[in-house]
Every structure is written in structure tokens, then in C-alpha cells.
Amino acid sequence: MSYKEFAEYDAEQTGGIKDSFSSIITGLGEDVNREGIQKTPERAAKAMMYLTQGYTMNAAEILKSAMFAEDYNEMVIVKNIELYSLCEHHMLPFFGKAHIAYIPDGHIVGLSKLPRVVDVFARRLQVQERLTHDILECINDTLKPQGVAVVIEASHMCMMMRGVQKQNSTTTTSGFRGQFEKIETRNEFLKLISSDLS
């Protein structure tokens, strides 16, 4: 399925997830019939379906929908792309920023498509390491550039709200292909994403 705005919910699927949330809420000791909770199972079901809509999207098709032949072969960077995802281990949020660069090899892509690719993979149950890899490989395989670089910086609620409860920790993951495997190109990218050019 190609990219489309997620605005409709499958009634049967929503009903099943709603029932599951009702059981969870009851199992936690809350009264699912209490006024403030009555609509929570349905809201939670729709929220979860929205937050995992990436399973119904095709990131490669998103890129292909806006690829243009262009004789440009210098670095293109889109940085500070906000991302929100759910940790597959605890289903708690992690959030942060992605920085993406590529060096075209005959084709460029519409700039808005790179954040959309991030959303496709972020809106699934994820670990940050695989999220980084998924974005990197999708761009590399689809656009076939001279090189691709992806860096993600994120904070994980599973570390902040439970477990070690470290409030100021962040996790950084990175991936490089092609020209970005060369140290000078990689360093240029890392310098540019860490600088404030405004």
C-alpha cells in the first residue's frame, strides 16, 4: 500500500483491540465502567492503530512517487526530523530526531519524502537500532545514491519511567553506506548536522 493519510479505522480490528484494552484495564484493578474510563478502551485502540500505521505503508513507494532525474551529485541533508515510536519491548514511547543525508547518483527525491520514510518505520513496534537500519536501507535500495547516512538521537521512556529511571540519557545510532563509509565524507556530514547554520 502506498502512502495515504490514516483517517479511517477498521471496525472489526478496532473492536478486537478495544476488548483487549478493556481486559487490561480491568486486570490492573480499574473499573472499566467508571465515567472517566468508559471510552478509554476505544480511544486507546484507535491511538495504538494510529501509532502503528506504518505496517500498512510502503516506504519505497513513497520515495518512488517523488524521484526526479537531476544532475546533482553533492550532499543533501535533512536534519532534525522529529520522530515518535514505540519500543517493542515495553510498548512505551521513544522520541527524538533523525538526520538523513544522501549523495544523488542521477536522481533526487522530494525533500518531504524523507521525513515520511522516517514516519513509516517509526510508526511500528521498533528498536532504535533497527529503525536506523530500516531507514538507511530503504533509501539506499530505492534511490540508489552514491551514499546514504542516517543518525538518530532519541530518549526512551522505558529507561526514564521504569527500570534504571535515568531522565537525561539519550541514545545515538548511526548507519552509513557508499561514500559515507569514507571518513572525510562522514565527518563532513557529522559536522553539518551538529552545527547551527541559521
Beta bridge mates, 154: 96, 171
Catalytic residue among 87, 126, 138, 179: 87
Answer yes or no: are the C-beta atoms of 122 and 87 closer than 8 Å.
Answer: no
User: Is 137 one of the annotated active-site residues of the chain?
Assistant: no
Distance in angstroms (rounded) separating the CA atoms of residues 100 and 191: 13
Distance in angstroms (rounded) separating the CA atoms of residues 128 and 60: 20
User: Is 138 one of the annotated active-site residues of the chain?
Assistant: no
Catalytic residue among 89, 129, 165, 167: 89
User: Is 88 one of the annotated active-site residues of the chain?
Assistant: yes
Catalytic residue among 99, 126, 138, 156: 156
Catalytic residue among 107, 133, 158, 188: 158
Catalytic residue among 30, 70, 82, 88: 88
User: Is 107 one of the annotated active-site residues of the chain?
Assistant: no
Q: Is the dihedral of CA 157, 17, 3, 146 positive or negative?
A: positive
Judged on CB neighbours under 10 Å (0-12, 13-18, 19+), 60 is middle
Catalytic residue among 126, 128, 138, 179: 128
Terminal-residue alpha carbon distance, the chain: 38
Distance in angstroms (rounded) separating the CA atoms of residues 101 and 145: 10
User: Is 89 one of the annotated active-site residues of the chain?
Assistant: yes
Measured in residues, the chain has a length of 198
Residue 144, sorted as left (phi over 0), alpha (psi -120 to 50) or beta, turns out to be left
Catalytic residue among 90, 107, 133, 146: 90
User: Is 38 one of the annotated active-site residues of the chain?
Assistant: no
User: Is 133 one of the annotated active-site residues of the chain?
Assistant: no
Catalytic residues: 87-90, 128, 156, 158
